[in-house]
Structure 1
């Protein structure tokens, strides 16, 4: 009987052993979850309207694989990891080098996106109001591009203050969180690329 009673008694938790979750990790996790939900809506919308445009141009007629831009963006996930590890080992110059490379790769991706849009708008006459394809394409790809821009602004901020002598070694956690956001942007691009340039064509 005593064993049954003891089994029903909840275990006593020592307050000294319990800690609040890291607010930085919780914050970036909530951001990524929220942004994932937002992107999911746009991706589902794009998939739903595939092939439902009543007039051209159509994806198969105007879309080309953005190979170089994709390679650049996915490579930037590698370079930011190298930069982060250099910072962890106290190699400031190496961190700065790979951080700048990451920024350049991200900027190249944005440049290739801008050139693609110029080609589509000026030469192919595809705008956001042309048809359902134009509406969903610019909405989804533009949403991703806006997140790349935000990420690049933060990367530039970190790069600038580091070059001016700011002790970035004291901000390793924030660098890690920014790295997580950048990886999220890259993963989203894999999904967008698959949906728009492979499935949607």
Structure 2
């Protein structure tokens, strides 16, 4: 399938943004899932609601909130730029942040379900044998949660590939910098005579999403087989 340079650029940028978004959010996803499953504290229900809020909010609203918080003059973004010369707005890093926020609830939910299925008696037995909290977590809890972590990671990756509303609101649609696959499709759809290019990107998007789901299923089965489930 022949793609022009701008189209290849959009595909490559989408893959880059999705990988960075998932890699950076995974540790926080595991932490949030663990807190929601294994800890009781005031405001737990509120935290759970905030984590899942991007699932029910319009993506444009999420993008606008990110702009208010992390834009060049945002509540946090202004200090990042003044102190470190770092800015999320109108850059691929902002696109990765927007994708991570939108996909985060899917990641947390998958990991949380897997963590809830872990038999806590195994952890307690290890503790009685002298294993510390971190050793129990790294050698028992984390491996048993692996199928959920895999599913959450791949689902978040696939969702990041398709993110559009929050991204275009937060970082605009700049060729070569923030024009991801969905943004490129939107531009081509609005361009007379570019229906063929839009169709090509549509096929690419479907193939990438389908491949991600197939990989997720295969890795989940592999993880369950290794754990003897």
TM-score by length of 2: 0.30
Structure of greater Rg? 1
TM-score by length of 1: 0.34
